[in-house]
Amino acid sequence: VITPCRKLILCADNRKEMEEWIAALKTVQNREHFEPTQYSMDHFSGMHNWYACSHARPTYCNVCREALSGVTSHGLSCEVCKFKAHKRCAVRATNNCKWTTLASIGKDIIEDEDGIAMPHQWLEGNLPVSAKCTVCDKTCGSVLRLQDWRCLWCKAMVHTSCKESLQTKCPLGLCKVSVIPPTALNSIDSDGFWKATCPPSCTSPLLVFVNSKSGDNQGVKFLRRFKQLLNPAQVFDLMNGGPHLGLRLFQKFDTFRILVCGGDGSVGWVLSEIDSLNLHKQR
């Protein structure tokens, strides 16, 4: 992950790849500097969180649409939305990562007589080999090009031609009882709390804390997976600011569940913070 607050030592297989990394780093250095308190809020900004990865099947860049090539590294992938990009293309990727708040949805919001609702958030191509269209139940996707679509929330996959036939509102998928939809997170008030209204579908919102250093750094994989399944605003790395921010943001929810992924120390840390914020009386 390349951010203004990290120092990296990079090794490249060849000069071309090294120059691509240098160009990407220069772009990051030219960005506006953020205060330390804002780093933990990066996943609310729509920016992609890149990591280098390889793929067992042909995969295509979502920026230039060309194939990702390489032996040990096949470019970059966003850990939240799985947006794929060449290293040289990552700096040109639009900040359209998985939505977190109402503001991040923007003009795509659905308004009707029932109020506001969230549409599907589509990402093109790179579908699983076994992908089937939700509408026509036929095989979709391709290993030859970027083709067809996947919703980042309900995981529905559709042909481009079938896309218009699918209902506009996103049902949020199998995890909807635990997911706080972006439409429910309006803004943060002056006290640092979410101005949130949980819809009926979100009967038991889940707040997740992961210690990314636990289990021989296996916590990073848990962080990625939970951000893919839930709203990224519900998932926090204990190594990036501790549990205070997450608990404080959710303090005004009437009821919510907490999942801590880590050792006894991580659990104790969260419990201590719950006591200090006087949250132990909440359901």
Q: Quick check: 72 pLDDT over 90? A: no
Q: Scan for tokens 């916590």, then name that residue.
A: 219
The pTM (predicted TM-score) of the whole model is: 0.79
Q: How far apart are CA 25 and CA 17, in angstroms?
A: 13
The candidate with the shortest Cα–Cα distance to 79, out of 186, 250, 235, is 235
Element of type H or E holding 245 = helix 244-249
Rounded to whole angstroms, how far apart are CA atoms 144 and 238? 41
For the segment 220-232, the average pLDDT, to the nearest whole number, is 93
Query: Is 31 in a helix, a strand, or coil?
Result: coil
Of 110-114, 209-213, 227-231, minimum mean pLDDT range: 110-114
| Structure-token pair, residue 9 | 């030592």
pLDDT score at 140: 95
Q: What is the pLDDT of residue 37?
A: 40
d(CA 236, CA 12): 31
| 34, two tokens | 């953020």
How many Cα atoms within 13 Å fall on the side-chain side of residue 274?
A: 18
Domains present along the chain, CATH in parentheses: 120-167 (3.30.60.20), 175-277 (3.40.1010)
pLDDT digit string (tens) for 174-196? 888 899 999 888 766 666 666 66
Q: What's the mean pLDDT in 242-255?
A: 84
End-to-end CA gap in the chain? 36
- H-type helices in the chain, by residue range? 15-29, 36-39, 102-105, 214-217, 219-229, 244-249, 264-276
> What pLDDT was estimated at residue 25?
64
pLDDT top residue among 169 and 56: 169
